């Protein structure tokens, strides 16, 4: 039996590689890189332990046979990751559009609306839920 076949047999019924594990590897790599710049022995040792924890957890997840639990964790991770990503995209757009638009949340459905920058109080109609509410654009 070849190595790949043995490996496939070993991995059968296990969670395998997913986005969350990939993220954990990246964190471990980041901690390891940061450790290059730490000269204090104790701090360096602690960072090394943290790195091993992340690596260990990533490997545990890859080899885990509780596939349902692991994929639920992965889904939760993706949800949080997307929320963080969208937050930064919104901040980037806010800066890009700072001269022409203002971003406000809909009072009812919490959708983020991009409004023309017109100073003063206006009534806005949300295109998503059709709810009307007042906004005050000061600057």
Dist. CA 23–CA 103, nearest whole Å? 31
Q: Return the number of other C-beta atoms located less than 10 Å from residue 16's C-beta.
A: 15
Closer Cβ to Zn ion, 28 or 126, answer by number: 126
Question: Residue 114 Cβ, how far from Zn ion at the closest point, in Å?
Answer: 13
Which chain residues interact with Zn ion by CB under 5 A? 106, 108-109, 111, 126, 128-129, 131
Closer Cβ to Zn ion, 97 or 132, answer by number: 132
Question: Residue 125 Cβ, how far from Zn ion at the closest point, in Å?
Answer: 9
**Contacts of 29 by beta carbon, 8 Å cutoff, 6+ apart:** none
Question: Residue 107 Cβ, how far from Zn ion at the closest point, in Å?
Answer: 7
Question: Residue 111 Cβ, how far from Zn ion at the closest point, in Å?
Answer: 5
Closer Cβ to Zn ion, 80 or 111, answer by number: 111
Dist. CA 126–CA 111, nearest whole Å? 8
**Contacts of 117 by beta carbon, 8 Å cutoff, 6+ apart:** 99, 100, 101, 102, 137
Closer Cβ to Zn ion, 7 or 108, answer by number: 108
């Amino acid at each position: 039996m070849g190595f790949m076949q043995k490996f496939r047999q070993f991995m059968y019924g296990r969670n395998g590689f997913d986005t969350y594990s990939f993220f954990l590897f990246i964190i471990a790599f980041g901690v390891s890189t940061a450790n290059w710049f730490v000269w204090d022995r104790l701090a360096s040792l602690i960072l090394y332990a943290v790195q091993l924890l992340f690596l260990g957890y990533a490997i545990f997840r890859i080899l885990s046979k509780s596939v349902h639990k692991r994929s639920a964790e992965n889904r939760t991770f993706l949800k949080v990751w997307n929320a963080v990503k969208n937050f930064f995209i919104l901040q980037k757009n806010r800066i890009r559009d700072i001269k022409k638009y203002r971003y406000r949340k809909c009072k009812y459905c919490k959708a983020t609306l991009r409004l023309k920058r017109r100073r003063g109080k206006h009534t806005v109609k949300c295109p998503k839920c059709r709810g009307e509410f007042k906004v005050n654009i000061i600057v």
